[in-house]
Structure 1
């Protein structure tokens, strides 16, 4: 058993005890390249999102986390990789494309940072570049209840997985000034419109 499989099994058990709910799991493609576009309110979001899908996902995470002793090593062993925020990090882009072109699942937080209000923020157009270069489908995912997970999150941790969006479905109309920003906005809107888990 890999470290990823072991960690996933342990966290799934913990989350179930906390009343974790997942809706729309059957929307997740069983194969092929997928970008998980996830809202971001807590450091626990990638763990909860990864436990909610049947496939293994590799997450892009801020570079600073990998400089923390032990934790950075664990992140790397779990398939996460660093990105330098606020700039075009070509290494992170290349690694993302390698994952996607190999038919893997890439976890992204298109808002770029955690939302302080809990409201879903504007999405970064970088995910659109990755979608176009890899022909991956984008699956919007809405996570809630993770902000104060171990104090107020009991019975409130929910994940809603939306239907896949493809490049063909997200073509910007003629005359749009910034095509990738327009598409990113459509993806974020799809995330916002996901229903609350029942």
Structure 2
């Protein structure tokens, strides 16, 4: 058993003890082929929460600063995370994300790029739309409904795949694709609050 699965097991036990996690819609995540999971972002715990509730292993982007510490950076890499330079076009991270999808794996993204301070969904950045339009991946919207408070329900909702082919056919730009993804995440939040 590799570190990813050990981490998933241990973190999953911890999160399920501390929070009453409820997961809805896992069946919408395809069992094979490239997948992008796009979620809202309300806490530093969001990546591990999505990681333990998704039925497939996920590769997440993480801010480059986290990789500067040799121990933390090494751990993150073994947990399938890779660095991205925030605030600029990071061609290496974009290439790495596309390679993950080309290999038929799962890429986890938080299109807002940073945590919401208010818990309300924010504007999405064009990065999610870039990966969705430049790949053949199935895009699954995901809504995390908090709050992260001990012994209070914490819900993770996986929605139905987004109709990406229509957007790809009309050659929607990356921001338009991101806006469509954010619209589906917002619908999930509104439906399940």
User: TM-score if structure 1 supplies the norm length?
Assistant: 0.89
Match of 2:173 in 1: 179
Once the 2 structures are TM-superposed, how far is the Cα of residue 157 of structure 1 from its aligned partner?
1.6
Match of 2:64 in 1: 63
Q: Once the two structures are superposed, what CA deviation does each residue of 1:4-50 show, in whole Å capped at 9, x if it has no partner?
A: 00111112222222311101111111111011111111111000001
Match status 1:196 vs 2:192:
yes
Match status 1:156 vs 2:153:
yes
Check conservation: 2:133, 2:177, Cα contact below 8 A: no
Partners of 1:13 and 1:22 in 2: how far apart?
Answer: 14
Partners of 1:58 and 1:51 in 2: how far apart?
Answer: 12
Once the 2 structures are TM-superposed, how far is the Cα of residue 65 of structure 1 from its aligned partner?
1.1
Check conservation: 1:136, 1:166, Cα contact below 8 A: no
Match status 1:12 vs 2:12:
yes
User: TM-score if structure 2 supplies the norm length?
Assistant: 0.91
Once the 2 structures are TM-superposed, how far is the Cα of residue 172 of structure 1 from its aligned partner?
8.1
Q: Once the two structures are superposed, what CA deviation does each residue of 1:43-90 show, in whole Å capped at 9, x if it has no partner?
A: 110000011111100001111111134222111110100000111100
Partners of 1:106 and 1:7 in 2: how far apart?
Answer: 18
Once the 2 structures are TM-superposed, how far is the Cα of residue 182 of structure 1 from its aligned partner?
2.0
Check conservation: 2:24, 2:157, Cα contact below 8 A: yes
Structure (1/2) with the larger helix percentage: 2
Match of 2:35 in 1: 34
What pairs up with 1:109-128 in 2 under 5 angstroms? Answer: 109-128=110-129
Q: Secondary structure at the match of 1:116?
A: coil
Partners of 1:188 and 1:170 in 2: how far apart?
Answer: 14
| Higher deviation after alignment, 81-90 or 66-75 | 66-75
**How large is the Cα RMSD of the aligned pairs?**
1.8
Among candidates 161, 165, 172, match of residue 162 of structure 2:
165
Gaps of 5+ in 2: none
Aligned pair count reads 190
